[in-house]
Amino acid sequence: MSADIFLAGMRRIAGAVTVITTTGSNGERRGLTATAVCSLSVEPPSLVACVNRKTWVAQFVRDAGVFAVNVLSHSQESIARTFAGHTPLAGADRFSSGDWRAGRTGAPVVAGALASFECRLGKLIEHTTHVILIGEVVETAIGDGDSLVYLDGSFSAVPRQQPAA
Ligand SMILES: Cc1cc2nc3c(=O)[nH]c(=O)nc-3n(C[C@H](O)[C@H](O)[C@H](O)COP(=O)(O)O)c2cc1C
């Protein structure tokens, strides 16, 4: 099987777009756009994120021991592009895109996200090119807006159902 056909298949998975953030022991913030995030368990509340080991977040999160998963709304596409490296901004400079604050764990949380999950790093599993982060969720913030998804190499909006009156 070629890598191309594998990638073509993966591009057909619509993924909710998140920004995973952490703050290193030196106080420096780092973040990257990620779709490889999913729920793990409710009791205890936990999630899984898969991050390339070459990224700043993979390098900082070991010492930091905390990270946050910010689920972006459709209005936050420019933040997704910034943290995916689609602009010249790198490292801590990426946080000039969006309105960020330090959450309960110290990891950066963005205003206007659909949801933000603040995590303690439960386990870090090394696997080939990536690290698998298991996050124990200590705080969840909820926001409003349509969902930002990535499908077939493009960002698009998925409207959220309004609750019945
Ligand atoms: C829609 C989208 C989803 C992405 N998902 C992931 C992901 O789940 N894990 C990952 O390691 N990189 C993912 N990336 C790539 C990183 O966002 C990108 O390589 C980023 O610039 C890494 O930051 P750094 O190398 O400056 O630390 C994704 C990129 C895009 C555009």
Q: Which residues pair with 147 in a beta bridge?
A: 73, 158
Is the beta carbon of 33 within 6 A of some atom in ligand 1? yes
Number of folded domains that form the chain = 1
The pLDDT profile of the chain, 165 residues, written as one tens digit per residue, is 999 999 999 999 999 999 999 998 889 999 999 999 999 999 999 999 999 999 999 999 999 999 999 999 999 999 999 999 999 999 999 999 999 999 999 999 999 999 999 999 999 999 999 999 999 999 999 999 999 999 999 999 999 987 666
| Neighbour tally for 136: CB within 10 Å | 17
**Mind listing the pLDDT tens digit for each residue in 16-50?**
999 999 998 889 999 999 999 999 999 999 999 99
Q: Is the CB of 60 under 6 A from ligand 1?
A: no
Return the DSSP state at 74.
Answer: G
Retrieve residue 61's tokens.
């999160």
- Ligand 1 centre to CA of 33 (Å) is 5
Q: Please work out whether the CB of residue 132 comes within 6 Å of at least one atom of ligand 1.
A: no
Pocket flag, ligand 1, residue 17 (CB < 6 Å): yes
The answer to whether residue 163 is domain-embedded is no
Q: Which residues pair with 133 in a beta bridge?
A: 49, 124
Write out the residue range of the structural domain in which residue 147 sits: 15-158
Query: Tell me, what's the pLDDT at 165?
Result: 64
The single-letter DSSP state of residue 12 is: T
CATH number of domain containing 152: 2.30.110.10
pLDDT attached to residue 161: 84
Q: How many angstroms is it from 58 CA to the middle of ligand 1?
A: 11
Given this model, what pLDDT does residue 114 score?
97
Residue 162: the pLDDT is 73
Helix (H, G, I), strand (E, B) or coil at 16: strand
Atom of ligand 1 nearest to the CA of 81: 31
CA 41–ligand 1 middle distance (angstroms):
24
Does the residue 1 lie in any domain? no
In a domain, 128, yes or no: yes
Region of 156 (left: φ > 0; alpha: ψ -120 to 50; beta: rest) is beta
Burial class (CB in 10 A: 0-12, 13-18, 19+), 83: buried
Give dist(CA 40, CA 119) in Å, integer: 13
Residues 137 and 117: beta-carbon distance below 8 Å: yes
The reply to whether 25 falls in a domain is yes
Instruction: Answer whether 80's CB lies under 8 Å from 33's CB.
Output: yes
Report residue 150 as tokens.
């990535």
What pLDDT is attached to residue 6? Answer: 94
* Domain-embedded: residue 51: yes
